[in-house]
């Protein structure tokens, strides 16, 4: 689908498979736009067809020019801060995927906090004349590195949130764990809840939230008694991979909260790849996130 940003408007050519549908069909069904957004667009005459405001039940024709008032100026929601480590993997008018370094929060956890990935994204937006709220679609633990998705407007955020919930965004992680895993691949289906004996720790609990992780062994290191594992999240619980691998008896290297040994300065967990369909154009996006540790922790251990 051909789209372009025209000031505060998204302009697109109606594709053949939308022919005969109405504006209401597109907003409600094709995009599943939140009701509040639909109401606002209706009140503000924020949809135009071939340059005119029309009734929303008008059938669309192939190659009609549809405009939607989408790029509304907003406060960033966090304080912009220049952080030279910002590593952008993908960006267009609708979303941004960044590679989060270690020892950095995804977003502020308290008022006026600086030094987070969200602060760096806000500065990047500001420097490029983009005035929109910084919206993370998911997050990574402070000491987990790798790919994080940010939406650049409300519609992209709503679509990506829904796709994440429906498991349509594929997130692939690499972890280095203690022990030799003999099972080549498997699925961990174990609910996760809070540990009432510790303020931040989670644990496998029948009363917890459903949590599913798949894994496969990439490489074993017999002399080091360690295994490199590739994992995919089918749910997004706090500390999910760390809790699940510890529960199996294979805690992550460096993850002292869940039984790992401090042989590296952080838990050896990296969000290595992310795959999704673009929220507006439906093109396939595949991002590989390179390791960012200096000195490298995976490379040092894999010698």
Would you please indicate which residues are annotated as catalytic (active-site) residues? Answer: 141
H helix and E strand count, the chain: 6, 16
State the CB neighbour count (10 A cutoff) for residue 173: 23
Residue 10 is classified by DSSP as E
Query: What is the spatial distance between Cα 177 and Cα 301, in angstroms, rounded to a whole number?
Result: 11
Which positions ≥6 away from 281 have C-beta within 8 Å?
1, 3
Residue 256 is classified by DSSP as G
What's the sign of the alpha-carbon dihedral 173, 179, 183, 186?
negative
Query: Do 177 and 231 form a contact (C-beta atoms < 8 A)?
Result: no
Provide the token pair at 259: 């039984």
Query: What is the spatial distance between Cα 100 and Cα 141, in angstroms, rounded to a whole number?
Result: 10
Which positions ≥6 away from 95 have C-beta within 8 Å?
149, 150, 151, 152, 156, 160, 278, 279
Q: Which of 269, 216, 272, 213 is nearest to 244 (CA)?
A: 213
Query: What is the spatial distance between Cα 146 and Cα 134, in angstroms, rounded to a whole number?
Result: 18
Query: Do 242 and 143 form a contact (C-beta atoms < 8 A)?
Result: no
């Amino acid at each position: 689908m051909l789209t372009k940003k025209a000031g505060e408007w998204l302009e697109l050519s109606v594709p053949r498979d939308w022919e005969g549908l109405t504006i209401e069909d597109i907003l409600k069904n094709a995009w599943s736009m939140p009701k509040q957004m639909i109401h606002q667009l209706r009140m503000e005459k924020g949809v135009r067809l071939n340059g005119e405001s029309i009734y929303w039940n008008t059938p669309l024709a192939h190659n009609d020019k549809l405009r939607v008032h989408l790029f509304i100026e907003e406060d960033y929601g966090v304080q912009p801060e220049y952080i030279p480590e910002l590593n952008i993997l993908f960006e267009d008018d609708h979303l941004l995927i960044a590679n989060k370094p270690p020892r950095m929060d995804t977003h502020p956890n308290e008022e006026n906090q600086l030094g987070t990935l969200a602060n760096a994204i806000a500065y990047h937006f500001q420097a490029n004349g983009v005035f929109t709220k910084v919206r993370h679609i998911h997050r990574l633990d402070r000491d987990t590195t790798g790919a994080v998705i940010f939406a650049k407007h409300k519609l992209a955020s709503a679509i990506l949130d829904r796709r994440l919930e429906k498991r349509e965004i594929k997130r692939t992680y690499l972890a280095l764990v203690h022990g030799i895993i003999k099972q080549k691949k498997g699925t961990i289906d174990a609910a996760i809840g809070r540990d009432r004996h510790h303020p931040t720790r989670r644990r496998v609990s029948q009363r917890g939230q459903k949590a599913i992780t798949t894994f496969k062994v990439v490489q074993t290191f017999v002399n080091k008694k360690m295994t490199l594992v590739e994992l995919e999240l089918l749910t997004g619980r706090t500390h999910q991979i760390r809790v699940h691998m510890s529960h199996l008896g294979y805690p992550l290297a460096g993850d002292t909260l869940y039984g790992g040994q401090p042989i590296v300065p952080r838990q050896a967990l990296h969000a290595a790849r992310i795959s999704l369909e673009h929220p507006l154009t439906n093109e396939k996006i595949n991002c590989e996130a390179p390791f960012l540790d200096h000195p490298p922790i995976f490379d040092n251990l894999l010698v």
